[in-house]
Each structure stands twice: as C-alpha cells, then as structure tokens.
A = this chain, B = another copy of it.
Amino acid sequence: MSSTYGDKIKVSLFGQSHSAAVGVVIDEFPAGVEIDFEKLQSFLNRRAARGAISTSRQEPDVPEFLSGFTGNATCGAPICAVIRNTNVRSGDYKGLSNTPRPSHADYAVGCKFGGFADFSGGGHLSGRLTAALCVAGGICKQYLESLGITVGAHIYAIAGIKDKPFDPVKIDKDTLLQVAAKDFPVLDDSAGQNMRERILQAKQDCDSVGGIIEFAVTGLKPGIGSPHFGGLENRIAAAVFGVPAVKGIEFGNGFACAELTGSQNNDSFYFDETGTVRTRTNNSGGINAGMSNGMPVIGRVAMRPTPSIAKEQDTVDLANKTDAKLVIHGRHDPCIVHRAVPCIESAVAIAVADAILADQ
C-alpha cells in the first residue's frame, strides 16, 4: 500500500511538492495499448490551475515518458512518466513543521517521520502528486475506452450549490464526454456560474469552499469485481481516498438508501428491447455484492474545503509547546473541487482497469 496501488497493475506515485519532479510508474500494464498523447495532455490540462478561481501557481504539467512504449503503444514493460517541478518557491513554507496547519498533513506526518519529513509545500502529501495520478489515470481511461468503457465525472455541488445529477439509469458515454469538454464541468451551466461566484467570494474572504463530485462508469460488463474485499466498491474507495481532501464516498443512492425500504430501494430486473438484462432503477449504482451488474457504475465523493486559507488560524508551536497563531502565505486554491474532477476520474479509472485485469 502507501503510495502504490493495485492488485494486478501496480501504480506507484513518487515526488514531493518541491523535489526535482513528481511522477509515476505503472507496472504490469498490458502491452499493445495505443496511447493518444495529445488526448492525454488534454486530460492533464483539465486538472491544471486556471484563472481567478485557482492558485496562482500555474505550471504546465507535461510528462516525459522514460519507458514503457514502442512508438505510441505500450510494450509490456513498466511505464514511467516524470513531471518536473519548475515553479518552486520553498521559502513560502518555512517554519510550517513547527506550527502545523490545521486539518493539513503537517502534524501527522511530523509524528510519523519525525524531523526527516519533507514539509515543504506539503511534501509527498501535496496536491501536486495528483498530476502524477492523472497521468496513470489518463492512460487507464484510454485503455478502458479501447474496451468500450467510459469513465467520467462532474461537479455535483460546491458549498451547497447543486448541479443536476447524472441520471443513474440513462447516463451514457456522450453525456460524459460533453461534460468533460467543459472548462467548468457541470451539467447545468447556470448552477456552474453560481458555483464560480461562490468560489471567488471565498477567495475574497481569505477562505475556501468544498464540494461533491459525482462519477460514472459506462460500458462495464456484468461480473467484474470480487466478493468481499475485492469488490468494485472496495477497490474504487481504496483508490479515491488517495486523492487529497476526499472525506466520503457513496455508491448508487448511497446514504439516501438508509431511509428507504427494500421494496423502494431494490432494483428490479427486466429484459430491454435488445434482450439485455437491465434494472429499472439503479439505486445500487451498478454494483451488487461488489460485482458490476451491467448498469452504469455511479457514485459521489465528498471533498472538504481546502485547509490552506489565508485567514489567521489557531495552532500550536511545537518547539515552545505553546498555543500559537498562524497566517499561511503561499499560493493556494480557494476551491479544488473543479480541479479534482479529473483526479477522481483517474482514481476510478485506475481501480476499474485493475479490477478488470485482476479478474481475467
């Protein structure tokens, strides 16, 4: 575990916010998968900081591939991609290990690794690592697309302002591609406009806001995933909590199912016009007993507000063993939900690709 994920493929993240580079190795990825590198770069760009609603640390994430390809196709050897850290200002983070930022990794990582931890810019725990995650995710997405499977996501809510939800029964590849193409990925652009204004307000308040991302996977045949600990829900959750700021995940109607009766919540089977078994509702989110049932896999992820805010906060001075005040300088996002959409897609894509490959 730790920074390595996967049962069949092994996705191994490395790098720190202010080390020479961040990157990823993907071992046991199948040979012969053609990668469209322009498309991959477009996907990575969806994660990039943009405009006033993001941090002013805006650097292009262009990976260099050190291994794993013959031409554009994977060759069966481990894939290694490296993204250099070009825009490093480590002075911004001086002294943070001593006065840990509330709700940030500083205190826990200091307890874990002692004085040897790299606190600069969040070190290995920085959101910067999601650039590497998205390289792996983008590759897995293209692999899944070659199997007819699409992974997508949208902003479901920011600070309580809600987008329209995906239709759990009808969600399809086209809808997923359309929302992915948007600069601010929501189904209802007027809700999106309200969200953006709320983010700008938070920025002005020296504060931050959180939100919810909804993801979906279409085209998955039934029977993928394993009983008990190898289920799709276990695997997706184990990957998604690897994205910083995630505090909850639910599948299908999720927490809402707790208020329903079985007769309300059960998804009845029927044969559709093509002779395919489907369910009339999809409260199960496409998963029964850990295994796909042929319906879209669907779920939602809760993301807390960015803990790095410019407002003065209470903390402790670990050297002097006194309470202390903290004002965080540096460049931070007033909201990371919109940038996290491709990160959640990546975590889901990696988990689903691994489940498929582990199952064969």
Contact = CB atoms under 8 A, between A and B. Distances in A.
A12 B23 CA distance: 13
A66 B23 contact: yes
Contacts of A205: 261, 263
Q: How large is the interface on A (under 10, 10 to 19, 20 to 34, 35 or more residues)?
A: 35 or more
A269 B112 CA distance: 17
Interface in A90-118: 100, 102-105, 107-118
Interface stretch (A39-47, A163-171, A313-321): A313-321
A259 B124 contact: no
Nearest to A254: B248
A302 B250 contact: yes
B15 A66 contact: yes
A216 interface: no
B305 A3 contact: no
A54 interface: no
Interface in A31-66: 31-32, 64-66
Interface string A14-39: 11100111110101100110000000
Main secondary structure of the interface of A (DSSP, over half): mixed
Interface in A282-316: 283-285, 287-294, 300, 302-309, 311, 313-316
Contacts of A12: 4, 10, 12, 25, 27, 78
A221 B70 CA distance: 25
Name the residue among A212, A266, A313 with the largest chain B CB count within 10 angstroms. A266
Contacts of A79: 14
Contact of A247 (B73, B157, B234, B254): B254
Contacts of A267: 102-103
20 contacts: A15-B80, A25-B25, A31-B117, A75-B117, A77-B227, A111-B291, A229-B239, A229-B241, A233-B241, A233-B247, A247-B253, A255-B255, A260-B304, A262-B307, A263-B311, A269-B314, A270-B323, A271-B323, A280-B314, A360-B360
Interface string A120-132: 0001110001000
Contact of A285 (B102, B247, B249, B321): B247
Contact of A289 (B73, B244, B309, B315): B244
A209 interface: yes
Contacts of A211: 258
